Structures are given as structure tokens and as C-alpha cells.
Amino acid sequence: MEESKIDRPIGVFDSGVGGLTVLDAVRQALPHEDLVYLGDTARVPYGNRTPQTIVRYATSCARQLVNRHVKAIVIACNTASAHALDALNEAFDVPVFGVIEPASRMAVDVSKSKCIGIIGTRATIASQAYTRAIQAIDPNAHVYGLACPLFVPLVEEGWAETDVARLVVRKYLEDLIALSNGHEMDTLILGCTHYPVLKSLIQETLASLDRHMVLCDCAQATAKSLVEHLKDRHLLRQTSESGWSDYLVTDDPQQFSAVGRSFMHEPPVNVSHIDIV
Ligand code: DGL
């Protein structure tokens, strides 16, 4: 691999601010890499769209990143990973990584009862992508999925710590527990990159319902798997310099910075607006 290619940035995209949870984990794991984040905030949420629309949106985001000469792309979005990973890997000449396989592996590793819950967007749950990924690793695992379509707007609005969020989280978790029909669900995948923003609230609510589950957040698992893949492909920068991070959004940069600031180690700065057609 010639040096100039190694020195290219890594592209990361999501429909909105949620993918910042993945970007943050990637930044912690790879301090020397340059990162370009694209939040398609004008078209969020993806999670209620048809598979065709999700593939079209994801392809247009990936194209923007490829035009900026990235060396790899991380789909920091479960919905787009569930529906568009194969299409993007076929369409583009750079390696494209999704979040579902790493999160599934993490869940199977930590679960003792092999009874795993997954919460995500409507499109992610409907795709059954998690069930397939988990059962490919452990065919005897039981998977219970629940769509939580109100979580993404709560996070995008910066309402993660309000009483409204408290009520909504409780209602969804009660529904999820009812689904498992008495089986001991000991692991819960936060199958949407917006959900780690609600992690403490989910944890508190589970405790108040007397349920104890390990929460698997795809951000850490994805960052770890990305490091391994880039290392294997000799794509990691060889430098002691800190990498830069650039942010692109398709709607209001200020709203994005304000919401993203509350849950990142380094708040997003230099956020620019781009149009995607
Ligand atoms: N954060 C994304 C995910 O992981 C998408 C949420 C949405 O746009 O509906 O699924």
C-alpha cells in the first residue's frame, strides 16, 4: 500500500447524530487517523423508510465520502448496515464496514443464557439482520427484537434526559420483556447508534423493573473490529501526530453541534453543510 493511500481519512456516516457514538469510539481507538463524519440530518430518520430508499440514501452518503478520498467507510448506522452493506461493498472500491456483525459477536460472547434482546429502528428489526448474524454465530441462541421508533427523534431533539424520554423508555422495555415470554434475557443489543445516548436511562429503567441485562453498544465493538481489519490490510497510519476530525451535515450544523456536544469526548467543531442529491 503506497503511503498516500494509508494517509487518507476514514469516512463514517449515519442518518444523524447517532453515528457520533461510533465516531467517538473510533477516535478513542485510532487517535492518529483522520476522520470525516457525514450526518444526513436532512433525511433523518432512515429507520421508517423502505429498504430501497435506505439503500439509495446510504449510497449517496458513501459517494460523498468516496469523493473525499477516504480509504475505508464505516456505516455508523444499524439501519443502513442492515439494508445497504452488501450494495455499498459492491458499488465502491474501498472497504465498507457495518455495525451488525461486531455487535452480534459481542452479544453472543457476553450472553450466558443465549437469550438476547435487540432494540432498533423499524427497518432494522424488520430486516432480521441481527437474528441472522447472531444465529450464524450460535444457531441455538434465542433473539427477541423490538422496534423503538420514538427513540431517534428524542435523541435528535436533545431530549434524552427528559421525563418524556423516561416514559418512552419504560414503555418499550416493558414491551420487550413481555415478548421474551419468561425466558431469561440477559443481554440487550442497542441496535441503533442513537441509543447509547439513552444508555443510563435504559440501565436505570431495567433495574427498576428488576431486570439485569448487559447492554451491548455497537460503537465499541465496531471500533475494535475496524482496527483489526485496517491492521490486517496495512491501512493504519504510521505517525505519532493526532488525527483531525471533519464534520459534514445535510441540514443545520448548529443543531448538530449542540446535540452532539453532550455525548462526545471531543465535541464536534468545524461542522459544514453539504447538499446531497
Ligand atoms: N442511527 C441509525 C441506526 O443505527 C438510524 C436511525 C434512523 O435514522 O432512524 O439505525
Residue 175 sits in a domain of what CATH number? Answer: 3.40.50.1860
Q: Which atom of ligand 1 is nearest to the CA of 194?
A: 1
Residues 266 and 167 occupy one common structural domain: no
Residues 92 and 224 occupy one common structural domain: yes
Q: Tell me the pLDDT tens digit for each residue of 148-196.
A: 999 999 998 999 999 999 999 999 999 999 998 778 899 999 999 999 9
Q: Is 192 a catalytic residue?
A: yes
Check 61, 115, 148, 192 and give the catalytic one.
192
Residues 144 and 162 occupy one common structural domain: yes
Bridge partner residues of 191 (DSSP): 120
Residues 139 and 29 occupy one common structural domain: no
Separation of alpha carbons 130 and 124, rounded Å: 8
Residues 229 and 189 occupy one common structural domain: no
Chain-centroid distance, C-alpha 61: 15
Separation of alpha carbons 244 and 258, rounded Å: 20
pLDDT at res. 263: 78
CA of 213 to the centre of ligand 1 (A): 22
Q: Tell me the pLDDT tens digit for each residue of 224-262.
A: 999 999 999 999 999 999 999 999 999 999 999 999 987
Q: Where are the alpha helices (DSSP H) in 99-198?
A: 100-110, 122-127, 129-137, 151-156, 163-179
Q: Tell me the pLDDT tens digit for each residue of 90-137.
A: 999 999 999 999 999 999 999 999 999 999 999 999 999 999 999 999
For the chain, how many structural domains are there in total? 2
Residues 109 and 208 occupy one common structural domain: yes
Tell me what percent of the residues of the chain surpass a pLDDT of 70.
99
> How do strand 142-147 and strand 187-191 relate by DSSP bridges?
unpaired
pLDDT at res. 267: 87
Residue range of the domain that includes 88: 3-98+220-273
Residue 101 Cα distances to 1, 34, 174, angstroms: 27, 24, 27
